[in-house]
Amino acid sequence: MHPRRRMDYNAAIRVEGKNMTILFYYKAGVLRSGTGTLELSKQNKLGLEHFCRKAGMLVTKDEFVQICWGNKGVIVSDNTVRQSLFRLRSSLSEVGAPDDTLITQGRNGYILKPGIIQLIESDNVYEELIAPAISNDDTADDTVPGTEDTAQPAGEIQSLDKHQGKKRNVMLYSLSGAAFALLFVTGLYFRFLFFTHDITFIHYKDDAGRSFFFSDTIDEAKNKENAIKRISYWLDRNNLAASDRPLIYISADWRDTLSFFSCKNDIAQRASDCLSINVIGDNKK
């Protein structure tokens, strides 16, 4: 059996003779280094944050799946996990990380080398990217010119401009949606006020065992006697006896339509039992 080689995870990572530290703004899901800036997908953002917090320690496949998809209630295939890890490694490679930054330990899981990726609490990537470096030397000039280490590529700033633009668009859509919802609710409220109002019924007369009440919204010029005649004809024709529902409340009389309630008790009482009826057209013998 060959002896196992112990990997020195604390060794300095050097690229082209320079120490490299990749900054990971995990709240925004953005990787940044001297070679570029990259925004990760949601799954890769969650996975890389967990790897960073357990740098140098083994992260099992089940643990990785739980972190990235556990709260979604879906079944994740092995192929999906492999593709997600492939995209994560490709993203790390794009910002200059060594190929062996994220190591697969067979079926046991994965290990992220410590000292390569630094977690950053702030999510304001753009502000930190363009902030000028200020010298601590009291004799130094107020403005420090950009050097090879501090100057940022134009493509990097454009990438962050797009990231900030996406945030502004999301906020704009959210505000527009909230304004639309407010207008919709306000419209419903005023529509409710328009169609909902108190009605007062005034007793007009008793006829053939029934008491007839007319709404105060009905035009005084309406022929109430004709309305009573039509309603009585319709009730008698449909065998609705006056003794069953003796109280008739006429709520509307327009054109050739009569709307009324046929009630057993006073319509204002909670226990009142009423039928809502519309009579359309004149009586036909």
Q: Hey, what are 46's tokens?
A: 């969650």
For residue 201, what are the CA distances in angstroms to 58, 63, 225?
Answer: 81, 72, 16
Q: Hey, what are 74's tokens?
A: 């879906």
What is the tens place of the pLDDT at every residue in 23-64? 988 888 888 887 778 889 888 888 898 899 989 999 998 888
Report, as an integer, the average pLDDT of 236-244.
87
pLDDT value for 267:
83
CA distance 105 to 87: 18
Query: How, if at all, do strands 247-254 and 210-215 pair?
Result: parallel
Report, as an integer, the average pLDDT of 268-282.
81
| 3-class secondary structure, 103 | strand
For residue 168, what are the CA distances in angstroms to 52, 163, 164, 276?
Answer: 29, 9, 6, 54
Diameter over CA atoms, the chain:
113
Phi-psi region of 254 (alpha: psi -120 to 50; beta: other; left: phi over 0): beta
CB 46 within 8 A of CB 150: no
pLDDT value for 52:
92
CA distance 102 to 207: 94
Task: Give me the phi and psi of 239, to 5 degrees please.
Answer: 55, 40
Report, as an integer, the average pLDDT of 139-152.
41
Report, as an integer, the average pLDDT of 79-100.
88
Q: What is the percent of the chain with per-residue pLDDT over 90, rounded to a whole number?
A: 8
Q: Is the pLDDT of residue 171 over 70?
A: yes
pLDDT value for 216:
82
Q: Is the pLDDT of residue 285 over 60?
A: no
Structure-model confidence comparison of residues 196 and 235, the more confident one: 235
pLDDT value for 163:
64
CB 23 within 8 A of CB 126: no
Report, as an integer, the average pLDDT of 127-145.
42
pLDDT value for 243:
87
Q: Which residue type sits at 192?
A: F
Q: Is the pLDDT of residue 10 over 50?
A: no
Helix (H) or strand (E) holding 115: none
Structural domains of the chain, ranges and CATH numbers in brackets: 7-123 (1.10.10.10), 201-280 (no CATH)
Q: Is the pLDDT of residue 236 over 80?
A: yes
pLDDT value for 247:
92
